[in-house]
Every structure is written in structure tokens, then in C-alpha cells.
Amino acid sequence: EGERGHHSGDVNAVTNGGKTTLAKNLQKHLPNCSVISQDDFFKPKSEIEIDTNGFLQYDVLEALNMEKMMSAISCWMESPRHSLVSTHSGSSEEIPILIVEGFLLFNYKPLDTLWNRRYFLTIPYEECKRRRSTRVYEPPDVPGYFDGHVWPMYLKHRQEVEDIPWEIVYLDGTKSEEDLFSQVYEDLIQELAKQKCLQVTT
């Protein structure tokens, strides 16, 4: 559980799984809600390692400045009502909510104890590859990058996640944005109700 009085949720997903869209939709509809995106903490290209195939190793924790991301989360926890991108002014009765979205969150141990709820968006190989091909990246994907680096890294990290003892809600990323939003929103509302009950009784 997160620190009492805060509620932190996590949306982890394969590349192009729809995590950023889901997080933004939730932020629009949940009071006093902020979002931190793991994609904002990539190291500069000059610091990204290259493997023996010449592929830049972006889909590994070493490509991210996780200490900086942890610092951003700590800042939010210390002052949740005045930080980051909060779309609602929020009343004092509302529990501050932080959604952290990214592709390598469950594989970073210091984050383990922060989450109240964990969600993992999955999509099949063919759909993931199709979506990836429609996106523009900087630097751009080189030929063979998806099959040679992106997908193998996802499978590796997914296996690591399946070995984690924490409860994770797996979401079908092929569902519509509306269905995914409804599923997670309803789950979070129930979780927030539990948190409020805990605050009253403790």
C-alpha cells in the first residue's frame, strides 16, 4: 500500500499497448489526479548502449533515469495537491491519486511497495507490431528492431513480472479505449472507497 492518504496506481504495458491513452483518460475523470510517465525519463541517445546487432538498447531499465523518476514520485507524495499535471483543483476530502504509466515499472524493485493497484496492458505480437509501425520514433526504428530487440525484451520482462508475488490486473489491450477506461475506472473507484473507509476507521 502507498502512504496513507495517497493512492497510487500503476499502468504497465507492452510498447503501443495503450497505456498513455488510458492514463490520460483516467486523469480527466478522476478528481485530484496526477500522471507521471516513464517515457519522460529516457536517458539521451548518447548514453544508450548498443548490442552486438547494432540495436540501441532502449527497452531496458538502464536506458532510463529511474532515480530521477523516483524523485518525481517522492515530490508528489510529499505535496500531492500541488504537483505535476493535476487537472482538478480537488477538495480536501478527495484522496490525491497518482497514476504512473510505463513499460518497465514492475521490474524496478524500489517501486514495489508504492502501488495500491497494478495494471498490465497486453496485446498480441501481430497487433503490437502493427501499432509500432504506425508510430514515429526518434531515433526511428531500424529494420529488424522490433523482432530483434523490442519484442524479445517485452517477453523477457513479462516473464519477470509473472514471477512477482504482487496482485496484478491484466488488461486486454485489443479492447476499445472506452472498455478499458470503464474497467479500470470502476476498479479504482472501488479501491478509493476502501481507502476512504480506512481513513475513517484508523
Contact 33, 128 (CB under 8 A): no
Q: List Cβ neighbours of 166 (8 Å cut-off, separation of 6 or more).
A: 106, 112, 115, 118
- Closest to 102 in 3D by CA, of 173, 41, 164: 41
Alpha-carbon distance values, 19 to 81, 93, 184 (Å): 23, 28, 11
- Closest to 6 in 3D by CA, of 97, 69, 79: 97
Q: Examine the residue annotation and report whether 51 is marked as an active-site residue of this protein.
A: no
Contact 31, 88 (CB under 8 A): yes
What gap in Å lies between CA 6 and CA 195, rounded to an integer?
9
**Active-site residue among 10, 39, 179, 187?**
39
Query: Can you tell me whether residue 97 is helix, strand or coil?
Result: strand
What gap in Å lies between CA 92 and CA 77, rounded to an integer?
15
List the alpha helices (DSSP H) in 85-144.
125-133
* Catalytic positions, written as ranges: 39
